[in-house]
Amino acid sequence: MPGWLRDIWGFILARPDASTLYKASTREEREDLAQRIQQRLGIDVTTYSILNVHRIGIAVPGRDVFARLLDWDGDSSYWPNHLARATRVDASLDNIDIRLFGWRRFLGFRLIPLFRLSAVRIQCDPAANETDNARYVMFTCDGGYPIGHFIMYVRSSIEALGESGPTQVFLAVGFNVYGRRRLARTGPARLVTAGWEVLHNRVTSHVLCRLKELCENDLKERAAGR
């Protein structure tokens, strides 16, 4: 089976092992989430019409999970690289292009990446004043569709929030469609937005579940001396 068909089945059609969507249904929950994001990252996500946050617990030390995220590229098995290839513009994580099928050109025309990610902040080690060992990469995001932020965030679990295991991993995306806050929630665009969110949430749940399995299996193998 071609790789792109495997990705369609594995990341879109198949049900993920768990739904990782961080639900903030009420106005109070959304405000609380926005405040915590601003406190930790210094960005105001209340300006975005679309904000999707996903979370999963991983039974692996946070530094090991974050090291795996720092290696994110077109060979990462937890990402649907046959459908939306993560292409490093240079050797670092600073600039990532997400390209449909990995294509740079089609029928002789240069293709704009689906997403163009530029790292504005990479915190590889916890800050001195932090108590939950937070590490993260925050990208600004533009390209063919979104304009906003994409964030990969790793921290220790917080028992008071009902979290278990040593590590929590968050993937978050916030943006306005083509920079217009109301465009995503008005007229026929509402249907496009709803479909995009269903697809995004399904794929992101698969990504985090696969990342969890990969990190935990690696730890087991190291413990077994393999």
**Mean pLDDT confidence for 84-101:** 93
- According to DSSP, residue 30 is labeled H
**Furthest CA-CA distance within the chain:** 58
**Mean pLDDT confidence for 151-158:** 94
**Mean pLDDT confidence for 135-140:** 95
pLDDT value at 86 more than 90: yes
3-state secondary structure (DSSP) of residue 66:
helix
pLDDT digits (tens, 9 = 90+) for 174-208: 887 655 656 656 666 677 677 778 899 999 999 99
**Mean pLDDT confidence for 204-219:** 96
Residue 184: predicted pLDDT: 59
The rounded mean pLDDT for the chain is: 88
CA-CA-CA-CA torsion sign (181, 185, 186, 190): positive
Q: Are 148 and 175 in contact (CB under 8 A)?
A: yes
Confidence class for position 141, pLDDT limits 50, 70, 90:
confident
DSSP string, 152-187: EEEEE--GGGT--SSEEEEEEEEEEETT-TTGGGST
The C-alpha atoms of residue 220 and residue 161 are separated, in whole angstroms, by 27
pLDDT value at 23 more than 80: yes
Confidence class for position 85, pLDDT limits 50, 70, 90:
very high
Structure tokens at 15: 């049900």
The C-alpha atoms of residue 154 and residue 171 are separated, in whole angstroms, by 9
Reported pTM: 0.91
Residue 29: predicted pLDDT: 84
Q: Are 22 and 218 in contact (CB under 8 A)?
A: no
Residue 93: predicted pLDDT: 93
**Mean pLDDT confidence for 5-13:** 95
pLDDT digits (tens, 9 = 90+) for 102-132: 989 888 888 888 889 999 999 999 887 777 8
Domain annotation for the chain: domains and CATH numbers: 3-9+16-223 (3.30.530.20)
pLDDT value at 13 more than 80: yes
Percentage of the chain lying above the pLDDT 90 cut: 54
